[in-house]
Each structure stands twice: as structure tokens, then as C-alpha cells.
Amino acid sequence: MAYNLLKGKKGIIFGALNHMSIAWKVAERAHEEGAEFVLTNTPVALRFGELDELAEATGSPIIPADATSEKDLEELMKKTMEHFGGKIDFVLHAIGMSMNVRKGRVYNDLDYNYLMKTLDISAVSFHKVLQTAFRLDAINEWGSVVALSYVAAQRTLYRYNDMADAKALLESIARSFGYIYGRERKVRVNTISQSPTLTTAGSAVKGIDGLMDFTERMSPLGNATAEECADYCMTIFSDLTKKVTMQNLFHDGGFSSMGMSFRAMKMYNKSLEIDEKS
């Protein structure tokens, strides 16, 4: 259901690659809520992804940018402001990638060049987006910037690898920049910590099916879907949450507050029985 929550608002959405992407769902919902936006991704992702389809469906221009390149980000922001004839109101940063995960390098055998890439793409790029927007004064007062995070920033999850460090840094950047952006320009900056979700990036974490089953059993409300994450983003971009800033907002069905649930305990006990029999 649409509520016109973003009527008249303009934005930039980073990270939509294909139908499964969380950013894709956010773009669809933002369109339904009356927003106009620019879609952006790397030139490679634009070649292999399906972004043209989303651009057509939402009437949005695509402006390529590698989020690790300050030059690309400056061009993106300038062109976006030209396109809209003024400043924007919201930004979604939905960007993540680890070469260590992709190449199967475990956390006690990291390739440090890959680690630097992980941090640059998945976290420092958020600082670059914020700093570029701040320098060009690209965001209206009471604007809202959101990056997507994961509970591995606080807790250790098997196989999440150096992405955990990237998410911890990402959340810290939201607080540190959120203070300055709020104080100087009344712009809010938050991260949304989403349940594991089956997307291209999510599938890179080996064993995601087992993880998703575990978090589903542990969460009293069940895993949050990409569509539900998009709904939550609408509220954070809207004027209904003007005083929410510098927060890491868990959107995970309650998982992050759980220690053990009945449904998970039942499964665990079952596997113990099998273990004892064998």
C-alpha cells in the first residue's frame, strides 16, 4: 500500500543490481511513495545487471559511478542536482563486496589488498558519499541518508569474514558523520541492520541457507525480507522520522536481542539426539 510518504522528494539510490537486490525493492517502493530518484551502480554492474529495466519502470535516469571514486561521486552528485534543478532529500547506500569472501580466504588468512578493497567498497565509500554531498551541499535540510548494515558488526558470525569489520566501520561512520551533518545542515544519517536476505551479495556468504534457517528460528517475528526492508527505508526517508539520526536500526524480526528461542532449541536438541544415536 502506498501512503505518498515521499511525495516531492528526490534522491539517489546506490546498489540495485538485479530483482533480488535490496536497493531494487527500495527503488520500487520509493517510486510508489511518490519519490523521484537517480539510480547508480558501477559501469561493470550496469553491463551485467538489469538496471535498465528498473530505470524504465520508475522513470529514473541512470548515472554510473564507482562509489570508491571521489571523482565519480562528484560527477554523480552534480549531474543529479542538474537533473532535478536543485538539491536532493535522500540517499540509499546499499553497497558491499569482499574479495576475501569471494576467493575463499578465511579470516585468519586474509589477503590484505583484498581487505583494503573490502573496507573501501563496503564502508569508506559511505564516508566518500557523505563528504561529497556535504562539500557540494547536495542534500536539503531534514534530508535522510541510509546505509545497509548487518549484525556481524556487533556479533561474530561464522564465515562473515572481513565484511564484519567493514560493517563495524560503516556504522561508526554513520555516527561520526551524522553528528556533523546534523549539527551543520540538519541532515540525518543512519544504518539499517537487515536480516540475512537472499541476494547476489548475500549468496556470496557460504552456508547462507543454514544461516537464514537459524535466524528465522531465532527471530520471534521471523527474518525480515528485502521488501520489508524497503518499507522500513520509506519511513526513515520520510518526514515522520526527522529526529532519528546516528542510529544503527535493527530490522531483523528481533534476532539481535535473542539468545536462544524455543524453535532453535528444538532443532538443536533434535540434532543432539541424532548425534547420540550415531
As a whole number of angstroms, the distance between CA 258 and CA 207 comes to 21
As a whole number of angstroms, the distance between CA 228 and CA 216 comes to 15
Q: Look up cell 524453535; give the residue.
A: 263
| Closest approach of ligand NAD to the CB of residue 222, in Å | 15
Among 96, 143, 178, 253, binds ligand NAD (CB under 6 A): 96
Residues 170 to 199 in contact with ligand NAD, rule: CB under 6 A: 194, 196-197, 199
Residue 238 in contact with ligand NAD, rule: CB under 6 A: no
Q: Look up cell 563495524; give the residue.
A: 168
Residue 247 in contact with ligand NAD, rule: CB under 6 A: no
Q: Look up cell 535473542; give the residue.
A: 258
Q: By CB under 6 A, which span of 19-27, 78-86, 137-145, 172-180 interacts with ligand NAD?
A: 19-27
Bridge partners (DSSP) listed for residue 61: none
Among 6, 202, 215, 253, binds ligand NAD (CB under 6 A): 202
| Closest approach of ligand NAD to the CB of residue 194, in Å | 4
Residue 66 in contact with ligand NAD, rule: CB under 6 A: yes
Contact 153, 96 (CB under 8 A): no
Which residues does 64 contact at the CB level (< 8 Å), separation at least 6?
A: 40, 41, 42, 43, 46, 72
The site for ligand NAD, by CB under 6 A, has a size of 27
Among 34, 61, 68, 105, binds ligand NAD (CB under 6 A): 68
Q: Got the DSSP string for 20-67?
A: T-HHHHHHHHHHHTT-EEEEE--HHHHHHS-HHHHHHHHT--B----T
Contact 3, 30 (CB under 8 A): no
Q: By CB under 6 A, which span of 64-72, 100-108, 213-221, 254-262 interacts with ligand NAD?
A: 64-72
Q: Look up cell 520509506; give the residue.
A: 234
Residue 215 in contact with ligand NAD, rule: CB under 6 A: no
**CA-based R_g, the chain, Å:** 19
Residues 111 to 170 in contact with ligand NAD, rule: CB under 6 A: 121, 148-150
Question: For ligand NAD, which is the closer residue by CB, 94 or 189?
Answer: 94
Pairing of strands 36-40, 139-149: unpaired
Question: For ligand NAD, which is the closer residue by CB, 119 or 201?
Answer: 201
Question: For ligand NAD, which is the closer residue by CB, 21 or 190?
Answer: 21
Contact 59, 35 (CB under 8 A): no
Contacting residues toward ligand NAD, per CB under 6 A: 14-15, 17, 21-23, 41-42, 45, 66-68, 94-97, 121, 148-150, 194, 196-197, 199-202
